[in-house]
Structure 1
Amino acid sequence: MTDTLPDNPDTALLDAALQMVEIWNRLSADKQALLLKRFGTQENALAALVTTQLLAPTQA
């Protein structure tokens, strides 16, 4: 990705999704297994992570 993308909701969603994939890859196998058990699929777990990130209050 480049830094020249427009700042719009689609870009924000894509950036959040890419961040969550990076976070998923850093999770231990145990934590991934817990998320998979709770959400059923990796896609659902990632969607939950992205939603949580997008709805989280901004840290100052």
Structure 2
Amino acid sequence: MTDTLPDTPDAALLDAALQMVEVWNRLSADKQAMLLKRFGTQENALAALVTTQLLSPAQS
């Protein structure tokens, strides 16, 4: 995660989405398959990851 806050909510969403794509690419094939089974599509799985990241408390 970055230490600075984005200037706009849109920038925050884009930043979170890009970070989650990076996370997705680092996941093992088994973990990707588990998320795909749970959420149906990669887009839905990424949306869940982004939402989780945006709603989680800030890391200190």
TM-score by length of 1: 0.89
Distance, in Å, in 1 between the alignment partners of 2:58 and 2:49 is: 15
Runs of 4+ in 1 over 4 A off after TM superposition: none
Distance, in Å, in 2 between the alignment partners of 1:59 and 1:53 is: 11
Other-structure match for 2:18: 18
Deviations 1:1-59 (A, max 9, x none): xxxxx610000000000000000000000000000000000000000000000000001
Other-structure match for 1:33: 33
After superposition, the CA RMSD in angstroms is 0.9
Identical counterparts, % of pairs: 87
Runs of 5+ consecutive residues of structure 2 not aligned to the other structure = 1-5
Question: Rg larger in 1 or in 2?
Answer: 1
- Residue 11 of structure 1 aligns to a residue whose secondary structure is helix
Distance, in Å, in 2 between the alignment partners of 1:16 and 1:59 is: 14
Runs of 5+ consecutive residues of structure 1 not aligned to the other structure = 1-5
